[in-house]
Amino acid sequence: MRKFNKWIDLIWWAVLYLFWVFVLQDRSFTFSRSLTIQFCYLIFIAANYYFHIAFAVPRFLYRKQYPVYGLLLISGLLVTALLRVPLVLYMNRHFFHIPGPQPPIANIFFSSLLNISIWVGALLAVKLTMNHLRLQQHMSEMEKEKIKAELDFLNAQFNPHFLFNSINSIYAHIDKHNPTARNMLLSFSEMLRYQLYDCNTHRISVDKEISYIRNYVAIQQARKDSSLQVCLHIGQDVTGFFIAPLLFVAFIENAFKYVGNSEEKENRVNIRFEKHEDCLTFTCVNTREPGARAGINHKGIGIANARRRMALLYPGKHELHIADNECMYEVTVNLQLS
C-alpha cells in the first residue's frame, strides 16, 4: 500500500510539473530554461509540502496549536524563498550564461515567496480537505457499524426476554385435553417462526407485524382473567408498507404485565394502529389498580430497548409520549414512514 501511495505521489508531482512547464511557462524563456526553473520551484514547493504533511500538520495543526503551526508555515515559506535567491543568481551566471546585471535580490525573493506560498497553500488545502473527507467517511462507516452492532445487541436482548415470558405463560395452560392451551401453542409457534425467520432484517411488512401482534394479544388474553377487556383495533390503511420489526411489542407486553386485576373494576387493554398519510400512530392504554403506581417500574429492559431502537432506526422521524397517572398508563407513538 505504501509503495502504491508513493507511485501516486510521483505521478501527481509529474503531472503538476508538466502543467507548470506547458501551461504556466514564461514565453520569453527558452523551453530548456522553463524546464529548469519549474523544476527548482518543484523542489522548494515539495519540500515545504512534505514538511507540513509529515511533521507540522499532525504535530501542531491537528493538536490545535495554531500559533506554533502558523509560525512554522511562515518560516518555511521565508526560508525556501531565501534559498531560491542564491540558486537563481548561480543558475543565471553559470548555467544560462545571462550577461549584464542580474535582477534585484528583493525582486527574486518576493517573486519566489509569492509563487511558493500560492502553490504550497493550494496543495495543503487540497490535501487537508481530502483528509477531512476521508476521515468523515471513515467515521460515518464506523458509526453505521456501531449502530448495527448495537441494534443486533438490543434485538438479541429483546427476543429471548419475550420468548421466556411467553413460554412461562403457555406452560401454565398445557393440558392434553385443553383446547385453549393448544390454540396458545399454535399462536406461539407462529410467533416463534416470525422472530426466527422474518425478523432478521431492518424492515418487515406491517401485515406480518400485525399478525404477530394478534397472536401475542391472543396468548395474553387467554392467560388473563375473563374480567380483562382487550380491544385490538387495526385501521384499514395499516397495510402494504414496511416498518422495523418488533417495535411496539414491548409496550403491549408492558400493558398486559401491569394491567389491573380487580374483579370489582373494569380492567382494560386498548391497542390501536391508525395510519394518516405517511404517519403511523400506535396507541396502547392499560388500566391499573389505584395505588399500584409506586410499585411499578416502567423503565425495564423492554421499554428501554424500544426507545433506543426507535432513536436508531427513526432518528428525527418519531415521537414517543407516555402518560402515566394513578389509574392508567398510555403510550402513543407517531412514526413517519417516509
- Residue 329 CB-density burial (10 A; 0-12 exposed, 13-18 middle, 19+ buried): buried
Q: In this model, does residue 158 exceed pLDDT 50?
A: yes
Q: In this model, does residue 151 exceed pLDDT 80?
A: no
Residue 327 or residue 199, greater confidence: 327
Q: What is the pLDDT of residue 93?
A: 73
The label of the residue with cell 409520549 reads: 321
Averaged pLDDT score across all residues of the chain: 80
Q: What is the pLDDT of residue 4?
A: 45
Band of the pLDDT at 274, cuts 50, 70, 90? very high
Q: What is the pLDDT of residue 74?
A: 92
Highest-confidence segment of 35-44, 61-70, 260-269: 61-70
Residue 3 or residue 46, greater confidence: 46
| CB atoms near residue 45 (< 10 Å) | 22
The percent of residues above 90 in pLDDT, for the chain, comes to: 21
The percent of residues above 70 in pLDDT, for the chain, comes to: 74
Task: Give me the residues paired with residue 328 across strands.
Answer: 287
C-alpha to C-alpha distance for 127 and 122, rounded to whole angstroms: 9
Q: In this model, does residue 79 exceed pLDDT 60?
A: yes
Phi and psi, residue 97, nearest 5°: 55, 55
Distance from CA of residue 240 to its chain's centroid? 28
Q: Is 291 left (phi over 0), alpha (psi -120 to 50) or beta?
A: left
pLDDT mean over 282-309: 74
Cell of 260: 389491573
Q: What is the pLDDT of residue 1?
A: 47
Q: What is the pLDDT of residues 116-135, one digit of tens each?
A: 898 888 889 988 998 889 88
| Domains of the chain by start residue, with CATH | 2-141 (no CATH), 172-336 (3.30.565.10)
Sheet containing strand 279-287, edge to edge, reads: 228-234, 267-276, 279-287, 328-336, 318-324
Task: Give me the residues paired with residue 269 across strands.
Answer: 230, 286
Q: In this model, does residue 207 exceed pLDDT 90?
A: yes
Task: Give me the residues paired with residue 283 across strands.
Answer: 272, 332
